[in-house]
Structure 1
Amino acid sequence: MVIISSIDIAKNQNQFVYNGFHGSNLYLNGIAKIHPNGLLELTNTSYQQIGRAFFPFPIKFNTSSFSTTFVFAIVPKLPELGGHGITFTISPSIEFFNRAVANQYLGLFNITSNGHPTNRVFAIELDTIKNPEFGDIDDNHVGIDINSLQSYVSAPASYYSEKEKENKTLRLISGKPIQLWIDYDERDMLLNWQVISKYILGWSFNKSGQSQSFDYAKLPPPPPPPLQSRPLVKPDFRVAVPSVISCLLVITFIGTAYKMWIKRYEEIREDWEHEYGPHRFSYKDLYKATKGFKERELLGIGGFGEVYKGVLPSSNEQVAIKRVSHSSKQGMKEFVAEIATMGRLRHRNLVQLFGYCRRKGELLLVYDFMANGSLDTFLFTNEKMNLNWSQRVKILKGVASSLVYLHEDWEQVVIHRDIKASNVLLDAQLNGRLGDFGLAKFYDHGSNPRTTRLVGTIGYIAPELARTGKPTTGSDVFAFGNLMLEITCGRRPFEHERSPEEVILYDWVLEY
């Protein structure tokens, strides 16, 4: 996220105008920084980070009226895949935010402080991810927050087009500079906000009247127009014929060599791929990211293929790259299912799918890298530390939260069908995230899934599923119950080497 602005501070601290942040004395917090050209960067493309910028002096509100306008741009790491948003906030102290967390809490609150009446925090949120737990209306809205992220009122981000005489949707994560106006009149108890997509760069605030206009001469220049909108240069055909022939020969030679070179990275593209949202990576980038899929980059081997650790050359971000095995009979079907579901799902306890690639028989999925690997390595190997009870409960709560989202809160019902310890990934903070949607089924609320094929892992399959073959949200919950027993007892749900009464974990538990 980037806020584009700057400041010429008035002598009194009742109002100020930023026309570029170069040389300003803003109080920066978290990973926020000011670039040499005066650009204020709140966060970069790293995950679960917070960046804040505060006016350096307290402002005393003799009245509660104020007016402010600023220009910001949210530049996503990948198209349509940005962070959780930004806020304009007023608070009695900076210290209040010390215990706030990132992600859906927007750096304002945490799970205990959110909604507490003593917070005394006012904020305008520019939210880019729909969080059902806060009653968000969509993934692109402006909301008024008072002591809580459950907005007092919210509306889709839009602006009024004078030309078309109607409201037009404004994508907050478009990467383009967007201007926001916020005006509060204490006398009428009326708060207004307005957004518009313009190339205006700056920030202005006034607590006792209309905010000041910008000094446009001091604002950074707008970005250049896109290539397709630049005027075409009329070609000059006065070229000697021998030069043309020479150029054609050189181009033919280079083209032949280039064709031979790129054959190594040749990919497959089909019409159905345009229907889905996730970003498509080039095979060349993924090949380089994994150092040619070297064995030392191998993280593990699952039921549908190998998983490699990689570093994307374009951003230096760590990712996990699943390379579906050629021998997987259901490889393409599972691959399409993961693209269709994971690319559209957004929840803090799901492993985020960044994109994909196809090359000949190779199917590749690019995920957020989970620093601590899968849960089963903590439970059943000596490679990792022992998890304490609070960590185990935290992991279970995370997986449970993701299931509520999949079963109830998303636009469709999603049945995972393969909940088990090896499909629960742990991030750097040991938060449990559910992954591997290769067997997932999704359908409209109020209808039933159209499948009778029995899939899953022995020990996690619900008894009624074994009889009917029809998966339900209840069969996912049954598998989650087995996961709870697995984490509590420290043994797998099915161990054939044990005595007959102890082979199946839940049968063994029921005996006691």
Structure 2
Amino acid sequence: MYNGFRGAKLHLDGLANIHLNGLLQMTNTTKQSSAHVFYPKPFKFNKSRSFSTTFAFAIDADLPGHGGHGLAFVISSSMNFEYAIPQEYIGLFNASNNDNISNHIFAVELDIVQNPMFEDIDGNHVGIDVNGLKSIDSASAAYYSDEELKSVSLRGTPMKIWIDYDGEKMLLNVTLAPLKHPKPKKNLLSTHVNLSSVLLDSMYVGFSSATGLTGTEHYISVWRKKYEELKEPWEQECTSHRFSFKDLYAATKGFRDSELIGSGGFGKVYKGVIPSTHTQIAVKKVSHDSRQGMREFVSEIVTMRRLRHRNLVQLLGYCRRNGELFLVYEYMPNGSLDKFLFKSKSSNLSWSWRFNIVKGVATALLYLHEEWEQVVLHRDVKSSNVLLDANMNARLGDFGLARLYDHESNPRSTRVVGTFGYIAPELSITGKSTTATDVFAFGIFLLEVACGRRPNIVQEFSTEEFVLVDWVYDCWKKGAILETSDPNLKGDYQGEEMELVLKLGLLCSHPKPGSRPSMRQAVHFLNGDSILPEIPSDYDHQSNYFFGGTWRRSMSVLSSSSSSISQATVSSDSSVVHVGR
């Protein structure tokens, strides 16, 4: 794709010329001449021979109602047209080779002269040509506006054309519209044609045009496609996991605000439906400004697509376009847990649901840490990343910060990533994520669910903040830990279960990583298979560096050193793989 053809190094012959503004002029008022423009390297077609293109064009005839002969989009086995004739042959064929199956030429012609020799339907038509100019199908130039067919002249008015071929269905769709008109829903031509014998493995792609007894100016312009994606050769192995931007754009109604279901430091999340399969999806749109580590990041996305657990949101794939990355997940109709905990004045989330949710998240983390083929560190466990399916079952989602490493090996050193309030104390010092740092965040999550409060609490009659885990710990020391339960529950909960979740939350968020339980132990505690130990005597966040000056100073330095760090999610690395999840 080119935003103008200057610097494109295309193969030009005949009258073809590229203007300083990037506009491609195929012909001018010179009579009985032709022009060709091709991309200089052949395109490699896959087995299905599928392809798609769109371009803008304008035909300015020398005499109103006359002129010739037309313009054609061409896929050809060769760029050599020295024996081709202008005028009615549009610079592609001559009398002896027209309709020869050895030509290996496919074309879509924009013809403004009716030629009885080729049985043209009129002097203003779009035709589909295979190895010759007797079109296998054609239609008078027109477009659909609000499902109503409107005729349009190919002369004068700038137009846009879309040409899409599905090699598996052997279906060619051609759509026409005025330049500023959106692509019509209905095609002008929809023709079944088998191009397997026409298109070789390598073919040249370009344009051909010709003038006749009167001069005609043919222009072509390719503006940057709104569906243009960023693809690199190494992504070939990820093809089955990559969504087209066009499909995501259609699924989310153009990323319309009405489809927005979440936003934050990571970007925005939109709900959508893939038109071809009617699959409901959630699309996370993440901005990035660096290609550093992208190959490794996409590789890990593809790996994590293979994760399968009833309490994980399924990552379906990804898409890249310009400076944006799109992560595609299965859609969860009940949204995120934090919506129920914090964004409604009176939460209707019962304790039985909450207890089932924390057990679901625990089993998901156990699967990630110990039961899959590699260790997966989620690195951003929190209520907003826990989604609820149609039956209110928990699904841990958002693997935008996740990292993998082999069992029996040490995780590699990384930068600080995560969300303020959930970051383990040692992570801000060592920069190394471990299963223990995930357990710490899980502990804060448990307190969120049980208390109905965020990690940092603003006092009711003051703007001063204090830390949730400190508050719960202080209440435990006073023998009043149940007083921290969510007031929205109005006491309607199982006391033993509530105390279990609160105490486990404190144990998991122990300031020393070695004193935290593993996720397997946490699951056993929640299922009643093991007895929860008492809170250890050395448990005191108030005097620990995490909630003391060292941690706060380190976070302050990180915040001031990078303008890209969000208020919700922190990273000390400007790399695409870390910032803004």
Q: TM-score, normalised by structure 2?
A: 0.43
Determine which structure has greater relative contact order: mean sequence separation of CA pairs < 8 Å that are 6+ residues apart, divided by chain length. 2
Could you say which structure has the larger radius of gyration?
Answer: 2
Q: TM-score, normalised by structure 1?
A: 0.49
